[in-house]
A and B are shown apart, each in its own frame.
Chain A
Amino acid sequence: MTVPTLAKHTGSGEPDLATSDGTTRVDERVRLRRLGPGDGIPGGILLGPALLLAFWAIGSATGFIDERTLSAPWTVVETARDLWADGRLQDGLVTSATRVALGLGLGIAVGLVLALVAGLSRTGEAVIDGPVQVKRSIPSLALIPLLILWFGIGEEMKVYTIALGVLVPIYIHTHNGLRTIDSRYAELAETIGVGRVAFVRQVVIPGAMPGFLLGLRFAVTSALLALVVVEQINATSGIGYMITLASSYGQTDVIIVGLVVYAILGLVADGVVRLIGRKVLTWRRTLES
């Protein structure tokens, strides 16, 4: 079979591929599709959400979706504008974001310190690793009743609950990253006379960084999960409070606005982690490409 010439052959050889009418016979083997799923569709990731949005809009307009079950998209947009105008949305967002940030910060700091101590000394590992593994088997959310008894129902309890959920993935993945650093690098550092501080800075920390960043992505997810839960018990502020309140009044539009804000929080947090990863793991990116 013949197809129009797509690219000229660079060499003058292989005359059998060129036919008299100036077209090129393409080797059948080249035309065989690879076994993979093929090339990506530009902007393909938006296709699914767009279809879903269209279904929602058309369903609401035609009355197929009852207003009491799910408000129309334009009602949600209007509600969001109203909530923004009277400041309730910003207040809730700031409160919720502060809780996540504090919980994440505390959990990351504690998890990192524990991982470094356990990773750099056998004694540290013996003391720390056991308790953290025990903690791992207890979901952080199961500790809420105890945390309420200890810290009350205020902000403290909320931040500690989030921090407890964050600590575990940070510790597990950073510790694993530390332990899987090739021991040959330690040997090398010894033979060329690298000191302890330089060893930790040049070998240990960058070597454990991929593990830490993986842990961070899990940590962000569990922080948001914990946020949603703690905001629905005894909260008087925050996005979760706004949602709970709307639920008792049957305001699906407000609930949707709250969910969108949660989604944005999650996306932003994940984006930040990815960005950090890209900056820090340049060497890995070049390895993958």
Chain B
Amino acid sequence: MSASPTLAPAAGVISLTGITKAFPGVIANDDISLDIVNGQVHCLLGENGAGKSTLISILAGMQFPDSGSISIDGVPVTIGSPKAAMRFGIGVVHQHSTLVPSLTVLENLMLGEGGLTLKEKRAASRLEELSGLLGASIDPNILASDLALGQQQQVEIAKAMWTGSRLLILDEPTSMLTPSAIESLAESMSRLKAEGLGIVFITHKLREAYAMGDCVTVLRGGRKVGELSPERMSSLTEDQAQAEILRAMFGEDLAAAGGLESAAELAGATEAAPETSRVDVTSRPVRLELAGVSSVGKSMDVSVTDISFAIHEGEIFGIAGIDGHGQAGLAEVLSGQRAIASGTVSLQGIDITRLGVRSRQEKGVRYVTDDRLHEGTVGNLSVAINLLLKRIGTAPFWRFGQINKPAVNDEAKRLIAQYTIHTPSPNTRVGTLSGGNIQKVLLARELGRGARVVVVNKPTYGLDLKSVRLVHDLLREFVADGGCVVLISTELDELIELSDRIGVISRGRIVGTVENDGGADVAERVGHYMIGGSAHDID
């Protein structure tokens, strides 16, 4: 694991030396050095918060390092703006889409060009050229908002390479893709690599790093903690390479994460499989039933049409789908936050369609939103108040309209201990906690007090691996005690690991339901529904 930069920087190498970047209260990058070589896929691995994004921002000219230097082909350079990065041939595909939804594909690609008039013909032929290179076919005149997710990404790549690039940076490109889209991404990457492009591929999934990468650099807590050179990569078997990377990724935390095996599973080293041996839940009584539910809503994310399913006691029902296809609408319909236009929702046979948020909560229907910071918590209020947010005004915490501080604090302390929330005190403002702890606050609030059905929307999005594990454990415990969970997620691995059945939502409809029977083809079947296949094509 030598960290020394190459002695004589050769042509075709972008070298980062001693890059350090500090933000108030955190050192995001601490003395990171690495070489990116043309014609190689360089994997950057690390947990959320390990400093990957900061490093990329520096390369892309969005951030400026406090110290350290970057040289291209041995010449020291300063990348002062995104424009400068483009001039050096550094193209970035950001984790969050940078396409403007209301513009066409071609307009998106031309954005930022110089000159007075739009050169549409020239742009169209450039797109054709790049499409050939990527092995994609994209209609240049459709709106970016109408593209499928995989296509969107191809356009992003084309955009990154628009002015001719030598280095392509892909920031977690697979996190939202279906298995088949990931395959075609890998294909595109190997074509580009063959063209002599350097590629930096950022991921937190080991499996992908091994499959697609030529060499690996591992970051943890802002530091470079390990690397595998291309020679070493090819000399190791997959298992050996993974073990080495995992030790670097988790270090002394490996034991805390539950040993090498569970760490491997967390880091997506293996194909996901259902955790526990499957229990047949269908024989149990139905807890929650939806019949032909349609919602009121304008945008696709909040409207659902004709949704019907039934969830049994002790079951985790997964909802898979491309982000923004009605997941928020479904969650809000269940929680009572969104009006139902037609259909019925019933809880243990009792019609609750017309009940509002509060009455549903009293009956045990709870919702853990994906928007933790805004919808889920009030950042400026204390942890204690946030834990009791849905019980404001009720005894014994409030008496005659007055807050009963000791009672609130006692209850908060109890929950903090029970859910191991790391906070300096119950009076700390919740907004200052880490994402994982904020999520625990939400779960502590929603899972207790006679919860029967919990709807969780993207419960582990943006959390570090230890928190992911904790959240998964909490959900499992909850169903083991007879609760039932509607798990909405865009992480296919998570759905397969936890769910008993997986419903696939597309354009506001449940287009198929897959029994998570532990078969190897579950992911494939879910992916098939996601991209718009019907039940017919599978058989």
The answer on A and B forming one complex is: no
Q: Which residues of A contact B (CB under 8 A)?
A: none
Q: Measuring CB to CB, which residues of chain B are less than 8 angstroms from any residue of chain A? A: none
